[in-house]
Structure 1
Amino acid sequence: MSQAQEVALDARAVLSRYVGIYTSPPETVGALDPAIKAYRIPDGPLMGNGDIAVAVGGTWTGQTFYLSKSDLSQSARGLGGLTIVFPGMAGERAGYRQEQDIYRAEVRSTLPLQRTTVHMRSWTADTANVLVVEIWTADGSSLDFELKLWSHVRGMRTQAGTSDGILWSTREMNGVIGTARQPFRSSVAMATRVLGATPTVCTTDGKSSSSAQFTVPSGKVLRIVTVVTGGYEADNHVVEAQAMMAGLTDRRIEEWQAEHLAWWDRFWSKSSVVLNDDLLERFYYGALYTLGCASRQGHVAPGLAGPWHLDGPICWANKYTLDYNFESVWWGVYAANRPELALPYYDVILGLLPAGRQLAQEHGTKGVLFGVNAHAWKGFTDTRTLNMKGNASLAALNFLMHYQYTRDEEFLLEKVWPLLKELAVFWEDNLVWDAANARWVINDSGAREGQKDMNPITDLSFVRRIFSFLLEFHPQLEGKRSGGEVIRISDERKARWHSYVKHLSAYPTIEENGKRLFKEAENRKRMSLGGAGDNSDVLMPVFPSETISLGSEPTLLNIARNTVEALCPETGKASWFQANCFPKIYTQAVRCGYPAEKVVANWKRLLAGTQPYDDRNDHVRLRNNLTIVPPAHGFESVGAIEAIHSMLLQSHDQTIRVFPNWIPGKDAAFRNLRAFGAFLVSSTYRQGVVSHIDLTSEVGGECRVWNPWAGKSCKVVRVGANRSQDVPYRIEGNTIVFTTTKGSRYRIHAP
C-alpha cells in the first residue's frame, strides 16, 4: 500500500465521523447576518470547486442552491440560485435532514412531505462549472415539483429565458473598480436542465427568473443539472451555457462525478492528523474542506467573506485586507501538504506590483508600497496605507513559506524574486542608520492601523525575515533567469543586507508586573494599544514572521511566553477570544512553547461557544457546516489550522521537531505533514512516547531532526522496496543530522 493510500484510509476513517448535519432547514442561508447587517459565510451545507461556490438553504418543503462565481465581481459574487419546491403544507416534520459529507464533497438531503419522502444528492463538478442534483422518492412513487432559476437583481443587469426545456438566467456587471477607476465587465449565465423528464410548463419573466414544472417518474432518479458559464470580460455566456446544456448526457455526468470523487480522494490523501479530540478535528478538517472548495489554481482568490456570496452588502466588501486578514487564509496550507491552494493568492499579490510601485512613488519612496485593501484585478480598493509600511512585506511571508516548504526552484525565480527584489529596494530606501546606537531603525510606520511609530515590532520582524531569506538563498538566485532578466546581486549589496540582519534594532520590550514583554513599538508605553485581550500583532516575530523558534535564545522565548500570558490572563478579557486574533494567537502561543493544554482548553471554549464573553457581541462557535465566523470577519479563520500543525510538527528553524508542543500523555498521530526543506513527515505519539519518525525527502539534502528520545541513541534507516539500509548520522547537541537523497524514504526510531 502506498503512502497516499495509507493517508487516504486514515482520512476516510476520521472524516466519516464529521458529516455536518442539519435536522431543520438552514433558513438563515440567504439572509443578512444581523450582527453586522451584511452577508458572510452562510450557516448551511457548502460546496465548491474554486470558481463556483454553492450554499444550500431552503424550507421544510423546498430547497435552494445559492450559486456564486469567483470573477463576477470583487464584492458581491452571488449569482442567484436554483430553487426546488415540492407540493405540500409548510411546517415542521420529523425526519428532515441535510448532510454535508466533506469526504465525498456532496450534500445529501431528506425532505419528508405529506405523501412521500424526497431524497436528493448534490455535488459540484471539479473539472467543469456544474452543479448536479439527483432526486428520487423513498417509496418510488411519482412526484410533481417546480424549478425556479433566478438571478439577484440588485445593482447589476440581468436577463432570463427558456429554450427547449432549458431554463437560463444571467447576472452582468459593467462598471469600474478600485481607486484607478479601471473599467470592469463580467457576464455570467446559469442554465438548468432536467435529464430524464420533460417540463409540463415553462415560464419566464424575461428579466431575472425562469420556472418549469416537472414530474419525478415512478421508480426513477432524475438529474437536475445547472451549468455556469462566462465570467470576467465574457461575451457569449448565454450561448455557451445553452450549447453546453444541449449536448449534455448521463454518461458525461457520470464522468464528471468520477473525476469529482477522484479529485477529493487525492485531496484527502495528501496528509492526515489524528488528535483524539472531536472538536479540534471537526474544525481542522472542516477548514481544509472549505479551503479545497474555495481556492484553486486559475481562479480568483476568495476575499474576506469567502466565496459563498449571496447578495450585497458583503462583509467588509469582500476586499483583500493586507494587514493580516488576506494572508492568514493560507497560513496552514503549507504544513498541511497542500501548498497549491495558495496559488490564487500569489496571483493577487504579484498583480499588485505595478500599482504598488506607483503608490511608493506617490509617497516619495522606491520599490513597492501596498495599501491596506486590494481587489483581484491588479489594484487597490483605496490607496490608504494607514501608515503601515510593512503591508507588502507581510504579504511576502507566504511566498517565503511556500518556497521553504517545497524548495520549488521555479517558484523561487518566477514568483518569490519579483516581489523580494522590490521589497529589498523599498527597505534599502526606508531603513535609517542610527549612528549613536549603531543600529538600523524604522521610522514613521504603524504597528497598527493609523499609528506613527518608531521601530514597530511587526516591520522589524518582516525585515529580519526577508533579508535573512535573501542571504540564505542568494546562491539559488544568482545568475538565474527570472522574467527575462538575469539575477545579479552585488557583493556590496549583500554586505548591506548582512548589516541589516546583524544590526537591525532589537524587538522592543517593556516590563509590566515584573515580567519582560514585547511591545508593539519602541515609542509605546505599554505592551499594546488595548492591553490584555488585544490584537496579538505584538507576537508577529513568532508567527507569521517565524524569526523566533523553540531553538531561539531562552530569554527571547521567555519574553514571548510572558507576552502570551499578558494578552491572555486567566480572568477578564483574553486574546484567545479577540476578533482579530483567531488565525494568529493560537499558533503564536504554540510556536513559543506556551503550554499546549492551556492553548487547547481556551481554543475549545471558543469552538464550543462557551467563551466567557463575546468580543463583538457575536456568539462565535463551530457551526454544523464545520465553519467558524470570527466576530466581524470571515474566511481568515481557516488559517488557525497552523496551530494544530505546530503542536505536531515544527521545522521553521531548519530543525524538524515532532510533537514539539503537544498535550503531555495525549495520544496523537500525523501522516505526511510538510516540513521546511521539502520533507514529508509522519509520526505517532502514544502513551507519552514518540514511536518513530518517517520522512520522505522530495529534493534531497541535509536533514536535521530534534531527537525526541533525549539522551538515548537512535537508528536511521533508508526504507527501500525490497530491503532497508542503515544510514550514518551525526549528533549535534540533541539534533540528529544525516544526508538524504531525492525521493528516498527514511525511518528514525529508538533501538
Structure 2
Amino acid sequence: MGHERTTRSHFRGTGRIPRRTGRRSGLLALALAIPLAVPGSAVAGPAGAAPGRAAAGAPSPAEQWNILRPKLEGIKGTWTNQSYTGSVSRTMPDTALLGNGDVGVTSGGSTGVKSFYVSKGDFWAGNPTARTAPIGGVTLQSTTAQDNPDLALGATATAGSTAGSFTASRAVNGQWGSGYEGWVSAIGKPQWIALDLGSVKTIARFVVRNDNAARPGNEAFNTKNLTFQTSADGTTWNTVDTVTNNTADVIDRTVTAVQTRYVRLHITEPTQNTTPDSTNNPRARIGQIELYAGAGGTTPPAQPFREEQHIVDGSITTSVSMGNTPLSMRTWLAAEKNVLVTSVTSTGSQPVRLQASVFAGAMGSPNSQYSNSSGVDGQVMWAERATPSGPNWVSRAALASTVLGATAVQPPTSSGATAKTVFTVPAGGTVTLVTAVTGGGRNPAAPHGDAVARVRAENTGSIGTLDTQRVAWWKNFWMRSAVSLNDAALERYYYPAQYFIGASSRAGRTVPGIFGIWTTTDDPMWDGDLHLNYNAQAPFYGVYSSNRPDLALPFHEAILAYVPEAQRRAGQDLRRVHPEYVTSRFPNGGVPSGVLFPVGISPFGSASGSTTDDQYHQQVSNSLFSATQFVAYYEYTQDENFLRTKGYPFLTQVARFFEHWVERDAAGAYSLWGGPHEGTWGKNSSPDLGMLKQVLAAAVSGSQKLNVDADRRAVWQNILGNLPAQPTTTLNGRTVYSLASGIQGTDTRLIRPGDNTINLEFIQPADQLGVNSDAGRLQVARDTVTAMNSWGQENSFPKIFNQAARVGYPADQLIDAFRSVISTRTAPNLRITDPHHGIEKSGATEAINSMLVQSDASVISLFPAWPAAKDASFYQLRQKGAFVVSSSKAAGTVQYVDVRSEAGGTLRLKNPWSTAFTVTDAAGNAVPYTTPGGVITVPTTAGRTYRVTPV
C-alpha cells in the first residue's frame, strides 16, 4: 500500500470579482504558483527553429456554425416502422425524444396512430413515497374505416379477475405498442376475458398479442393454452378454436366465419411454466385482442413510414399514412414555453378526416390510485392527472389542446380520461395541433384552467414566433462548444449525449431524475429518483468542460433543498449506516454537525415523503459525490456569488460531518471507514478518501477566498495534510489502485476486475490525479484501468472512459474501447442503453473533452489523450480557471490556441511546440509571457482573448 500524502488545492481565487457575461460565470485562479521566468517577447522558441506558417486561429461564430450545423443535421435517430419499440419503458425510452428542461415528450403510437407521451420534470407523486410519473399524451389518427377493421377495438371487456389497474378494457383500447401491458389477471388458472361487440358481427380471424410481443424478455408469460369461444347471449359459450402448446408472441388464427356478438378467451395455461415466477404465480397477460371479419392474410401491406429525431433543433419529423392519405408531420417543443406543436401536412390528393385526442394516464403499469380526468372548453380539449393522495404532497398536471388551420372542426367531446375532436385536412393543406402543458410541483391547484388559457392564447403568428425562438435556442446551445474528431462513431455518441442533457436540464427548473424527464409508466425503475452514489451526479460530469455549466444548477438546488433533512439524519440516523461501528464511536447515534444523505431522494428537499430509497448501504459518501459537482461548478466558473451563497456553505456542511467521522491515531494520521461498493465495509475507501480530499481542499481555499472560518480552516488543513494516499494492492505482479486498504465481510477482494470502476473515482470526479501528476502514480492508474477492463460494465460507462482519459491512457486503445461499447449499446434514438440506467450516459462526454484538453495541476494541456497522428479540433471547451479554449491539431502539430479569459488570472499552457511561437491578443498585439518549466505563462485580463500560435 502506498501512503504518500498527496492532495490537490481547490478554489483559489484571483482576488478579482468576476466580470459577468451572458451566463453565470467567473474565473478560478489556478492553484499552483509557478515562479516567473524572464518575460518573453512576442516570439519564442529554440534557437535556429525554422519559421512556419501561423494558423489563423479559431473560426468565427458564423464559420463555426457553418461547420457544425451540417454535422448535427447528419446525426439523427431514424425509424422506418411503426412498432415504436421502447417507447413505453421503466427506464429511458428508445424512441424519439424532445425536451426543454421542464417538459419531456416521447414519440409513440402504433400503425396509423401517432402519439406523443408527455411528462414533466416536477410532476412527482408523493405518496406513499416520491416517484416520477407521466401526465398523458396527445394522439392523431384517421377516422376513415379500414377495409378490414379491428372489430374488438373499443368493445366492452370483462374478465374473471384483474390485477390492480390492468383491467380488461386495456386489451381492446388500441393503445397497444412497445412496452405496453394490457389486461393482467390475478394469480391462478383458468382465467377468462370476454368481449361484448355491441351487435352481431362476422368473425373470421382472431389475434392475441401476448406479453412478450410488447415487452421483450417476458416470453415465459406468453399464453400457452386457450380456447376461442363465442356466445349468442354472453352466458352459454361455444368453442370455435383451440390453441395448445403455443410459444409465439402473437397468436394469429383464421377460423370458419361465425356471426356473434360475444367473444371469450378461456385460458387454461396462461404462462409457459418455464421460470419459477411463471410456474408459481400464473397470471394471464394479454396485451391486445383483435377480431377481423376477413380471413388471415388480408392485412393490407404496410404504408411507407419514416420518423427522424433531429438534435440540431429539437424536432421530430414523421412521414406516415392515415386514412390512405400520406401525411408529413413536424413536431417540436417550444424552448422557453411549455407548448408542444405538431403540424400535419397532407401530401395526398384528397381531404382526410383525422381525430385528435388528449388523454391523461400512463402507458405502462397504470396505477389506479392516480386520478385521470378530461373535459372540453369551447374548441379546447383538456386532460388532467393527479398523483395519489396521502400524508405527503399531491401533484397535478394538465394538457390542453386545440387545432389551428383545419376545416370542418367538430366540437370536442370528452369521456373518462380522454377528450377528442375530428377535423379535416384539405389536400395539400396544413393543420396544427397545439398543446399546452401546465402544473407539477407540490399541491398545485387544478391546472387545466391555466392550460386552457395558455393554449387559447396561441395563434398562427405566435406559434411561428415560438418556432423561430426554438431554432435560435438550440443554435445557441450548440454554439457553446463543439468538437471535430474525424471519427463518426465518437461524434455519433458525443452530440446526442449533449442533446439529452440539454433537453433534460435547465437552470431554474427541476433537476432530471435517473432517466431524464421522459416518463411513460407509473412504475419507473428506482422510482426515477436521484440516486446519490454517482448516478444523479454523472449526467453533469461533462457539462463544465462543454461550456454549459449552468445545466448543473438544478442539481445543486435539489441537494441544498435536502440539507435540513440531511442535518437531521447526521444527528439522529447515523446508526443505520453501520450499527456496530457507529454505536462504538457515537453512543448517541449521531454527530453534532454535518450532513448525511441517503442513497435516493426526490427534488423536493426535506418534505415528508421526499426520500425515495431510504437506505445507506453502509456508505457515507453520498454527500461527497454531491459535493464534487459544487466543486466543479466553481472551479470552471469562479462564480464568487455561487461560492459564497451555495458552494462554500454546502462544502462546510460536508466537511463538518467528516471532522467527526474520521479517526485519528496516536501519530496524528487520519483514516476513515465506509463502503466503496454498496453493502461493503472498508478502511480508507478509495472514492471516499479521494472525494474527502477534494472537499477539504475546496473548503480551505473557499474560506481563504471569502475570508471566513479561519478556525475551521486550520482543522481542515490538519486533516487534509494527514490523510493517507490512495490505497493500492498488487494484481498479477503489478501495483494497482484498490477499493480500500482493507475490506471486511464475505468478499474482501481489494480490486474487482470487470466491475464498476469505483476504485478510480478518486481520479474523476474527485480530480486527485491527472495528466500532469507524478509519472509513477499515473502508470499505476493506467495499469489499473487495464486490469479492471470494465469498458462494457454498465455502471462504468460515465466513469472509466473519463478516468482513462484523465491519466493519459494509450489513446488508440481508449478510442477502440469507446467505439466498441458505442457500437453495441446505441439505441435508435442514439442514447446509450443498459437495463437499469439512463441519462447518466451523457457523463462520458467528459472523456472526449479530456482527450482533447485538460487543466490539471494548474496547467492546461492540449490533446493529452488523443492519438498523435489523428487530426482533431475543438471550439470553446471550458477549463478550470474559467478559461474557454479553442484549438486544432493537424498532421501531428497544434495549429493554434485561442483562450478567452472570463475573469482574469494567470493562464498556464503546456507548450505543445518544439519551435517558436507567438502570444498575442485578439487584435494581434504582442502579450508578455514567461515559459518556466516549458509552461507558457500569461497574465490575463478578464474578458480578453489570447492567441498562441507557432511560427
Aligned to 2:801: 586
2-structure distance, mates of 1:454, 1:315: 32
Aligned to 1:481: none
Offset of 1:576 from its aligned partner? Answer: 0.4
Identify unmatched segments of 5+ residues in structure 1.
33-38, 177-181, 479-487, 569-574, 610-620
Q: How does 1:323-472 map to 2 (within 5 A)?
A: 323-362=533-572, 363=574, 364-365=590-591, 366-379=593-606, 380-436=611-667, 438-443=668-673, 445-472=674-701
2-structure distance, mates of 1:120, 1:418: 50
* Structure 2 residue identity aligned to 1:248: E
Check whether the contact 1:517–1:527 (CA below 8 A) recurs between aligned residues.
no
Offset of 1:466 from its aligned partner? Answer: 1.2
Give the one of 706, 725, 742 matched to 2:925: 725
Q: How does 1:660-675 map to 2 (within 5 A)?
A: 660-675=864-879
Aligned to 2:526: 316
Please give the secondary structure, in 2, of the residue aligned with 1:100. strand
Offset of 1:591 from its aligned partner? Answer: 0.7
Q: How does 1:74-473 map to 2 (within 5 A)?
A: 74-86=130-142, 87=144, 93=302, 95-112=304-321, 115-139=324-348, 141-152=350-361, 154=367, 155-175=369-389, 183-197=392-406, 200-202=409-411, 204-232=413-441, 233-362=443-572, 363=574, 364-365=590-591, 366-379=593-606, 380-436=611-667, 438-443=668-673, 445-473=674-702
Please give the secondary structure, in 2, of the residue aligned with 1:226. strand
TM-score (norm 1): 0.91
1-structure distance, mates of 2:412, 2:466: 30
For the aligned residue pairs, the C-alpha RMSD in angstroms reads 1.9
2-structure distance, mates of 1:589, 1:434: 34
Check whether the contact 2:330–2:343 (CA below 8 A) recurs between aligned residues.
yes
- Deviations along 1:118-162, whole A, 9 cap, x unmatched? 000010011211100001111464211111211116231111112
Please give the secondary structure, in 2, of the residue aligned with 1:549. coil
Aligned to 2:940: 740
- Residue 9, structure 1, aligned to residue 9, structure 2: no
Offset of 1:205 from its aligned partner? Answer: 4.9
Change (3 A) 1:230 1:703: same
Change (3 A) 1:645 1:527: farther
1-structure distance, mates of 2:495, 2:704: 38
Check whether the contact 1:143–1:217 (CA below 8 A) recurs between aligned residues.
yes
Check whether the contact 1:304–1:315 (CA below 8 A) recurs between aligned residues.
no
Check whether the contact 1:80–1:150 (CA below 8 A) recurs between aligned residues.
yes
Check whether the contact 1:29–1:42 (CA below 8 A) recurs between aligned residues.
yes
Check whether the contact 2:740–2:750 (CA below 8 A) recurs between aligned residues.
no
Offset of 1:72 from its aligned partner? Answer: 1.5
2-structure distance, mates of 1:315, 1:323: 16
Check whether the contact 1:29–1:55 (CA below 8 A) recurs between aligned residues.
no
Please give the secondary structure, in 2, of the residue aligned with 1:726. coil
Offset of 1:388 from its aligned partner? Answer: 1.1
Aligned to 1:688: 892
1-structure distance, mates of 2:554, 2:318: 32
Aligned length: 707
Identify unmatched segments of 5+ residues in structure 2.
1-57, 125-129, 148-298, 575-589
Give the one of 509, 513, 535 matched to 2:728: 509
Please give the secondary structure, in 2, of the residue aligned with 1:78. strand
Moved more, 224-233 or 82-91: 82-91
Q: How does 1:515-526 map to 2 (within 5 A)?
A: 515-524=734-743
Offset of 1:51 from its aligned partner? Answer: 1.1
Offset of 1:199 from its aligned partner? Answer: 5.7
Change (3 A) 1:633 1:549: same
2-structure distance, mates of 1:127, 1:140: 37
2-structure distance, mates of 1:26, 1:685: 44
Offset of 1:704 from its aligned partner? Answer: 0.4
Change (3 A) 1:473 1:734: farther
1-structure distance, mates of 2:413, 2:740: 62
- Deviations along 1:494-546, whole A, 9 cap, x unmatched? 23222222211111111121100111111149995672101101001111100
Please give the secondary structure, in 2, of the residue aligned with 1:577. coil
Check whether the contact 2:507–2:550 (CA below 8 A) recurs between aligned residues.
yes
Offset of 1:347 from its aligned partner? Answer: 0.8
The structure with more radius of gyration: 2
* Structure 1 residue identity aligned to 2:396: S
Please give the secondary structure, in 1, of the residue aligned with 2:828. coil
Offset of 1:203 from its aligned partner? Answer: 5.7
Check whether the contact 1:26–1:43 (CA below 8 A) recurs between aligned residues.
no
Change (3 A) 1:453 1:530: closer
Check whether the contact 2:513–2:530 (CA below 8 A) recurs between aligned residues.
yes
* Structure 2 residue identity aligned to 1:165: Q
Change (3 A) 1:674 1:6: farther
Offset of 1:413 from its aligned partner? Answer: 0.9
Offset of 1:604 from its aligned partner? Answer: 1.1
Give the one of 693, 700, 709 matched to 1:489: 709
User: Which fold has the larger relative contact order, with Cα–Cα distance below 8 Å and residues 6 or more apart in sequence?
Assistant: 2
Check whether the contact 2:876–2:885 (CA below 8 A) recurs between aligned residues.
yes
Offset of 1:198 from its aligned partner? Answer: 5.4
Give the one of 878, 901, 919 matched to 1:716: 919
Aligned to 2:782: 561
Q: Among the aligned pairs, what percent are the same residue? A: 33
Check whether the contact 2:756–2:796 (CA below 8 A) recurs between aligned residues.
yes
Change (3 A) 1:78 1:737: same
Change (3 A) 1:648 1:92: farther
* Structure 2 residue identity aligned to 1:748: V
1-structure distance, mates of 2:557, 2:892: 44
Change (3 A) 1:441 1:694: same
Moved more, 121-130 or 711-720: 711-720
Offset of 1:713 from its aligned partner? Answer: 3.5
Offset of 1:640 from its aligned partner? Answer: 0.8
- Residue 41, structure 1, aligned to residue 92, structure 2: yes
2-structure distance, mates of 1:423, 1:225: 47
Offset of 1:165 from its aligned partner? Answer: 2.1
2-structure distance, mates of 1:533, 1:12: 39
Change (3 A) 1:705 1:140: farther
2-structure distance, mates of 1:495, 1:167: 64
Aligned to 2:258: none
2-structure distance, mates of 1:229, 1:471: 44
2-structure distance, mates of 1:607, 1:624: 12
1-structure distance, mates of 2:323, 2:341: 26
Check whether the contact 2:738–2:750 (CA below 8 A) recurs between aligned residues.
no
1-structure distance, mates of 2:866, 2:96: 32
* Structure 1 residue identity aligned to 2:922: V
Aligned to 2:39: none
Change (3 A) 1:245 1:16: closer
* Structure 2 residue identity aligned to 1:455: N
